[in-house]
Amino acid sequence: EAAVTQSPRNKVTVTGGNVTLSCRQTNSHNYMYWYRQDTGHGLRLIHYSYGAGNLQIGDVPDGYKATRTTQEDFFLLLELASPSQTSLYFCASSGGLGGRQNTLYFGAGTRLSVL
């Protein structure tokens, strides 16, 4: 079973604050993703990566940076947090070879509140 661990599970910050969300996967998957989940919108893709040092832009990248430091670790950075970024954030990974390999394995989520 794929394991994706997110930290912290909950985070509260103030407008203009600096936040880093962390994600680690332990299954040697090539792809990692950051999604945000908001009522009425489902999951929206922020950034994704297909390997260490790689970064691809998703559908809602504004206000977010991301960095993939190793095969295992993918970080999401909010350098000037705004209330509109209050959301539930999910990290996911996948094997990336097509067929069954594009199945996503999700972490438990990080709930972020920007006051």
Classify 105 in phi/psi space as left (phi over 0), alpha (psi -120 to 50) or beta. beta
- 67 token code pair: 């960095």
The residue within the footprint of another protein, chosen from 68, 109, 112, 114 (CB under 8 A), is 109
**46-75 binders of another protein (CB under 8 A):** 48, 50, 58-59
- Looking up tokens 């909950």 gives 10
Q: Does 5 bind another protein (CB under 8 A)?
A: no
Q: What is the largest CA-CA distance in the chain?
A: 43
Q: Supply the minimum distance, in Å, between the C-beta of residue 42 and another protein.
A: 4
Residues that bind another protein (CB under 8 A): 4, 31, 35, 40-45, 48, 50, 58-59, 90, 92, 94, 96, 98-100, 102-109
